[in-house]
């Protein structure tokens, strides 16, 4: 009886061992990654390894979309031997080459067959040879004509390559095969070049870093087209893989940190939580199609393709015509392509811990209660960059969030997004707390609207306050260059220096109210411009040369445009002929009340900018001004000298009236 029990037990153990050694996965990628280590020493694994060796070309790479585990006939094996020298279809697309290298590494860990080691090293050599001088990789190497030569992030191709090189260069134990020191160093160089390429291809939208396209031109590095329905766009899927790679880098450079934080902000901005995919079934209950329907509080997804400048998702058939809804394209492409992804959710999940480790003392757990953040260049604060503090600020907070900026010159573009409301940007003092950048129209070079991308600081979030700061566009007298752009409502700027040349201060937005008090604002041409309603109190308006102070574009029907009260208008000695303003748009409204005007102000005061109709529709007004530049009798006939009762209407309560009562005094 004892012998029988022993025999049965032995049989069960051997039977279970056989099951464990038997691969149960059908997909090639699953076979590589999901089998236990011991399986790679089995006869079945060795048999598959012979196929993998056959498929590898002499150049070192493999073709894609091959189920390597499928048994080969004698004829097929003969054909593959003949193809060894043919490198036409070798690629890193769809996981090709990198996954076969992993397979060979896992085989070699169990079976010390030198052919496996040689195969792995040939694959590594292939990756190194395929890299462009700019750090990117094409989809196929040797190069294949067409879009295949673009730098390819598609389907995580380049991210996978860099993950291999990272493991090799850091000499980890992830791969069982250890290259020579020379190859390890080459891998490190290639990895660094690849990361540099990633940083250079991160797309700037209106001057702000976002994410990446699936393909970038190998020469210009700009977003590029692939197949007819794969148009230049920002990619929700591929960008996630890139960011996760960047987040895996120990002791990242400031540039990498900036890239990750910018991408994280973009993922937060573009996540979709109000749709879901629903199957379309036939009468037998079989899925024959899918459609997108509205949902509430659904798990976030991101579109595979989003417009480069608006982030709007789009979809297309093989005709390449953009459609706004997945439901608008034909069933072949609708069901044959992954149009939505949840990959960025992994970035959002890991970001908190990464952010705490790399540049912030504020954890995601604490983020809900943030009300005060310190920025200091010497590292004594929570951040060393202002933009990073903005990234850490909660969206739509109930309380004011103060970003205190210690003394220093911060050479950066700063954007306060529309979801970062209630921000207070507080400098230590205005003379020594300086935010500066040097973009201008020619440098930006984005077409006729380049001016609007030149800002040093852009404010989109409502209920913004700034004080004790210098905000400067340092490009000099080289055309349009905005220092401060405010397109938000209820923005209050006090005790600040706003410095630039042409177009220093842009004020706009729909039905926006903005308040400037005790500020110094300098520039050359149209250096205060836009369509907002803005009140300037106790400010010094300084002209650097003879030109125009204001260029209002007040919308028709707006009660007030730009209003200057108790301000001083000063100028450099060479600025001897300065106009108070000219109409950017014909309904421009600008008023100067109780202001001191220097002799630089031209007697006629105003100019129509070759718009005769503006003389009837614009409102240029003055009241009770003084100084050598105040010459009411010599002003152009179509301007207005207000009466006392008319001037009384220009009260702070009337000008800045809003649904939030007395916001300007808080």
Q: What is the pLDDT of residues 426-445, one digit of tens each?
A: 999 999 999 999 999 999 99
Residue 603 to residues 559, 591, 606, 618, 636: CA-CA distances in angstroms?
A: 26, 16, 9, 19, 8
Q: Are residues 283 and 295 in contact, defined by beta-carbon separation less than 8 angstroms?
A: no
Residues 217, 526, 648, 658: which is the catalytic one? Answer: 526
Phi, psi of 664 (to 5 degrees): -70, -15
The predicted model scores a pTM of 0.57
CA–CA distance, 199 with 39 (Å, rounded to integer):
40
Domains of the chain with CATH codes = 19-201 (1.50.10.20), 213-359 (1.50.10.20), 379-665 (2.160.20.10)
* Secondary structure class of 1 (helix, strand, coil): coil
Question: Residue 491 pairs with which residues in a beta bridge?
Answer: 514
More confident residue, 463 or 363: 463
CA 184 to chain centre: 33
The 10s digit of each residue's pLDDT in 113-162 is 999 999 999 999 999 999 999 999 999 999 999 999 999 999 999 999 99
Residues in the chain, total: 666
Other C-beta atoms closer than 10 Å to the C-beta of 344 total 27
Q: Taking Cα atoms as reference points, which of 229, 86, 95 lies closest to residue 152?
A: 95
Is the per-residue pLDDT at 13 higher than 60? no
In the predicted model, what is the mean pLDDT of residues 356-383?
69
| Per-residue pLDDT at 16 | 42
Is the per-residue pLDDT at 533 higher than 50? yes
Is the per-residue pLDDT at 2 higher than 60? no
| Per-residue pLDDT at 6 | 41
CA–CA distance, 318 with 296 (Å, rounded to integer):
32
The 10s digit of each residue's pLDDT in 270-310 is 999 889 888 888 888 888 888 889 887 788 999 999 999 99
| Per-residue pLDDT at 21 | 54
Phi, psi of 304 (to 5 degrees): -70, -35
CA 242 to chain centre: 13
Q: Beta strand pairing status for 540-543 and 520-523?
A: parallel
Residues 43, 462, 503, 518: which is the catalytic one? Answer: 503
In the predicted model, what is the mean pLDDT of residues 16-33?
74
More confident residue, 629 or 364: 629
H-type alpha helices, 219-297 = 236-247, 254-270
**Residue 438 annotated in active site:** no
CA–CA distance, 433 with 412 (Å, rounded to integer):
13
CA–CA distance, 440 with 435 (Å, rounded to integer):
16
**Residue 503 annotated in active site:** yes
Question: Residue 296 pairs with which residues in a beta bridge?
Answer: none
């Amino acid at each position: 009886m004892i012998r029988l029990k022993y025999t049965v037990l032995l049989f069960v153990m051997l039977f279970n061992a056989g099951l464990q050694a038997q691969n149960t996965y059908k997909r090639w990628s699953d076979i590589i990654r999901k089998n236990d280590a011991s399986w790679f020493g089995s006869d079945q694994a060795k048999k598959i390894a012979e196929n993998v060796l056959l498929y590898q070309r002499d150049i070192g790479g493999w073709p894609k979309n091959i189920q390597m585990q499928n048994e080969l006939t004698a004829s097929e094996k003969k054909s593959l031997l003949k193809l060894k020298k043919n490198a036409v279809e070798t690629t890193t697309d769809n996981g090709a080459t990198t996954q076969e290298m992993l397979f060979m590494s896992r085989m070699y860990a169990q079976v010390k067959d030198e052919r496996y080691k040689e195969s792995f090293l040939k694959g590594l050599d292939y990756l190194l040879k395929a890299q462009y001088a700019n750090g990117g990789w094409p989809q196929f190497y040797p190069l294949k004509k067409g879009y295949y030569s673009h730098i390819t992030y598609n389907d995580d191709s380049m991210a996978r390559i860099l993950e291999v090189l990272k493991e090799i260069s850091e000499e980890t134990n992830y791969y069982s095969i250890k290259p020579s020191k020379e190859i390890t160093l080459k891998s490190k160089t290639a990895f660094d070049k690849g990361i540099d390429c990633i940083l250079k291809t991160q797309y700037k939208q209106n001057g702000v870093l976002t994410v990446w396209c699936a393909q970038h031109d190998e020469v210009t590095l700009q977003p590029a087209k692939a197949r007819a329905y794969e148009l230049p766009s920002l990619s929700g899927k591929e960008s996630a893989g890139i960011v996760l790679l960047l987040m895996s880098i120990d002791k990242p450079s400031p540039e990498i940190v900036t890239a990750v934080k910018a991408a994280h902000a973009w993922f937060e901005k573009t996540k979709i939580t109000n749709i879901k995919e629903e199957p379309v079934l036939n009468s037998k209950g079989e899925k024959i199609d899918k459609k997108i329907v509205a949902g509430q509080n659904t798990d976030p997804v991101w579109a595979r393709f989003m417009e480069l400048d608006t982030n709007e998702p789009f979809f297309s058939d093989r005709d390449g015509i953009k459609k706004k809804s997945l439901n608008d394209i034909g069933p072949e492409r609708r069901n044959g392509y992954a149009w939505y992804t949840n990959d960025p959710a992994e970035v959002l999940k890991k970001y908190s811990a990464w952010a705490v480790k790399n540049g912030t003392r504020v954890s995601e757990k604490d983020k809900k209660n943030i009300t005060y953040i310190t920025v200091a260049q010497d590292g004594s604060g929570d951040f060393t960059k202002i933009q990073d503090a903005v990234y850490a600020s909660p969206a739509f907070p109930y309380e004011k969030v103060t970003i205190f900026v210690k003394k220093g010159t911060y050479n950066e573009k700063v954007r306060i997004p529309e979801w970062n409301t209630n921000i207070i940007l507080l400098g230590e003092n205005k003379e020594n707390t300086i935010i500066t950048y040097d973009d201008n129209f020619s440098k930006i070079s984005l077409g006729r609207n380049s001016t609007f991308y030149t800002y040093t600081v852009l404010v989109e979030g409502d209920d913004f306050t700034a004080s004790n700061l210098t905000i400067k566009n340092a490009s000099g007298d080289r055309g349009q260059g905005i220092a401060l752009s405010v397109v938000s409502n209820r923005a209050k700027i006090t005790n600040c220096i706003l410095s630039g040349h042409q177009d220093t201060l842009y004020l706009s937005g729909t039905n926006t109210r903005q308040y400037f008090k005790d500020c110094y604002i300098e520039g050359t041409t149209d250096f205060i411009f836009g369509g907002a309603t803005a009140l300037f109190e106790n400010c010094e308006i300084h002209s650097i040369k003879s030109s125009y102070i204001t260029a209002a574009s007040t919308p028709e029907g707006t009660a007030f445009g730009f209003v200057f009260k108790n301000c001083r208008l000063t100028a450099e000695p060479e600025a001897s002929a300065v106009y108070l303003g000219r109409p950017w748009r014909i309904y421009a409204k600008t008023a100067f009340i109780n202001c001191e005007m220097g002799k630089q102000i031209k007697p006629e005061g105003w100019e129509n900018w070759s718009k005769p109709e503006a003389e009837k529709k614009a409102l240029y007004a003055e009241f009770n001004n003084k100084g050598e530049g105040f010459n009411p009798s010599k002003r152009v006939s179509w301007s207005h000298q207000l009466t006392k009762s008319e001037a009384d209407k220009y009260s702070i309560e009337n000008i800045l009236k809003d649904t939030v009562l007395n916001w300007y005094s808080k």
